[in-house]
Amino acid sequence: MTDLTIAAPAAPTHTKTPPSPPGGLEPGGAAPLMETVPAVSPASPELTPDSGLLGTLQNQLQDLIAAGGPVILVLGLLSTVALAIVLVKLWQFHRMRLGQLGPVEESLRLWSQSDGKAAIALVAGRSQPVAHLVHLALVGLLRPNVDLATLREELARVANLQLERLRSYLRALEIIGTLSPLLGLLGTVLGMIEAFRQLEAAGAQVDPSILSGGIWQALLTTAVGLTVAIPVVLVHSWLERRVERCSHQMEDAITRVFTRDVGLPRPPAERRQAADSALEVGYAA
């Protein structure tokens, strides 16, 4: 039996000639060196220590506000207002040179030596409240035919005006110092009410963490209120004391202006006249 085998036609093969490399290199030659360009990654922001600290403080502030509620926001606003008032008052006291009494003392010394023009020139144009008041008093006394009662009333009016300027905004600072602990106590009461409400809602499945968590969140507002109130009260007392001291210095300076001749040695002719007057009324000279 003849075995007839029909051979399948072979699949046509297509040979693909590789492209010749640039520069006339032969296929068997060395492969060209390709220039590698490093990949450029997008610039990522570097975290500096300041930015990390700022982010931490921001997160802590957000947690504090979330735990304390709107009372914390009100206390934060009051603390900002109090800080602004303190900075304004410090700048005002520094600009008016409230504690610099050297020119005033020198002017009063010259006035006691009957050198009125030099005394006036020493305190002229000064923004210091005591110096301004002394200048007004000296100018008024050197005017001819001056009415002392009218001059005293004018000096009292100017002194009250100066003191009112120095006391500006101190009342608001006092209110903030008084109101901050009360707001903190209000936040504590509201927090305790919410804690006991959640405890009641839990029913038989009471979790001590619910009550403890509500209590510390409630007490947080009281702590913040006291933290705001204590420095505000201290600074307010210090500023008020400086204004009172300025008031006493004004009163002392004006009294020394009007009583210049008291206690000074009088000429011999005046002493003899005083002695004769005493003898006339029966007193021993």
What pLDDT, on the 0 to 100 scale, is given for residue 87?
96
Tell me the per-residue pLDDT of 232-248, one tens digit each, with 9 for 90 and over: 999 999 999 999 999 99
pLDDT of residue 60: 59
Q: What is the pLDDT of residues 165-178, one digit of tens each?
A: 999 999 999 999 99
> DSSP of the chain, one letter per residue?
------PPPPPP----PPPPPTTT--TTSPPPPPPP-PPPPPPPPP--HHHHHHHHHHHHHHHHHHHHTHHHHHHHHHHHHHHHHHHHHHHHHHHHTTT--HHHHHHHHHHHTT-HHHHHHHHTT---HHHHHHHHHHHHHTSTT--HHHHHHHHHHHHHHHHHHHTTTHHHHHHHHHHHHHHHHHHHHHHHHHHHHHHHHHTTS--HHHHHHHHHHHHHHHHHHHHHHHHHHHHHHHHHHHHHHHHHHHHHHHHHHHTTTTTPPPPHHHHHHHHHHHHHTT---
Residue-wise pLDDT for 35-46, tens only, equals 444 444 444 445
